[in-house]
Amino acid sequence: MAIVVGYLATPEGRAALETAAEEAQRRTERLVVVVSGRGDETDEQRRELDVALDGVRAELDARGVAHELRVLTRGRDVAEDLIGTAEEVRAALIVIGLRRRSPIGKLILGANAQRILLDAPCPVLAVKPAAT
């Protein structure tokens, strides 16, 4: 079993990664970090992602968290990537980051988050970054 986390180099992505790493340590489970790409990123965007992922690897190594990083560019959306990975690794938990929304935006949850919450094969923990 494993814990799956969707990661982007954003405050929401970092909050999800932090929470997922804490859960992986607490449960002594492997952490699978999923980064979904479209496949049309520029060379500069790929370099920035590589640098960000090097930082993620270093952080998880320093904490002693067993992990695997998956950069998926199959043209699927984030929800499909996370759900598919969770099914493949028989995940015990999926962790996702949520964005703060305007009062009107709070009436609807993001489409990817909603699909993950409804279709995931395991519990989903949705986190948001600390208020600044």
Residue in this structure with the two tokens 């690897």, named with its chain if needed: 57
pLDDT at position 107:
43
pLDDT at position 99:
77
Q: Which residue has the higher pLDDT, 121 or 102?
A: 121
Read off φ and ψ for residue 13, nearest 5 degrees. Answer: -65, -40
- Residue ranges per structural domain of the chain: 7-75+85-101+123-132
Helix, strand and coil in the chain, % to nearest 5: 45, 20, 35
pLDDT at position 74:
66
- Specify the pTM: 0.88
pLDDT at position 109:
58
Report the C-alpha gap between 39 and 97 in whole angstroms. 22
Read off φ and ψ for residue 16, nearest 5 degrees. Answer: -65, -45
Condensed to tens digits (0 to 9), the pLDDT of residues 71-119 reads: 988 666 889 999 999 999 999 999 999 876 555 444 445 788 889 999 9
What are residue 31's DSSP bridge partners? Answer: 3, 67
Condensed to tens digits (0 to 9), the pLDDT of residues 13-55 reads: 999 999 999 999 999 999 999 998 777 778 888 898 899 999 9
Whole-Å CA distances, 12 to 39, 43, 58, 87, 102: 22, 24, 19, 23, 16
CATH number assigned to the domain covering 7-75+85-101+123-132? 3.40.50.620
